[in-house]
Chains A and B, each alone.
Chain A
Amino acid sequence: MDLTYTQEEESFRAGLREWLARTLPQLPARPDPLDWPGRRAYDMGWQRRLYDAGYAGLHWPVDAGGRGATPTQHLIFLEETEKAGAPYVGANFVGLLHAGPTIASEGTPGQRARWLPPVLRGDEVWCQGFSEPDAGSDLASLRTRAWRDGDDYVVSGSKIWTSHAEVADWCELLVRTTPVSEDVPKHRGITWLAMPMDAPGITVRPLRTLAGSTEFAEMFLDEVRVPVANRVGAENDGWRVTMVTLSYERGTAFVGEVVACRRVLGELAREARKNGRWDDAVLRRRLGRLGAEFGALWRLTQWNVSESQRAGTGVPGIGGSVFKLRYSHARQELYEAAGEVLGAGALDLDHEWTLDRLSSLSYTIAAGTSQIQQNIVAERILGLPKGR
Chain B
Amino acid sequence: MSATLAASGPPGAAGPVRGGDEVLLGFTWALRAAGVAVSQDRAQGYLAAVALVGAGDRRATYAAGRATLCASPDDLLRHDQVFEAWFGSPHELPRAQPTPTTTTTYSALPATDADGSGGGEEQDVVRAAASDTEVLRHRDVATMSAAERQRLAAMFADLPVRAPLRRTPRRVAGPRGRVDASATLRASLRRMGEPAEIRWRRRGVRPRRVVLLLDVSGSMSGYADPLLRLAHRMTCVLPGVETFTLGTRLTHLTRALGARDPERALVAAGASVPDWSGGTRLGETLQAFSDRWGQRGMARGAVVVIFSDGWERGDTSLLAEQVARLQRIAHRLVWVNPHRGKEGYEPVQRGVLAVLPHVDDFVAGHSLATYARLMEVIARA
Q: Do A and B come from one complex?
A: no
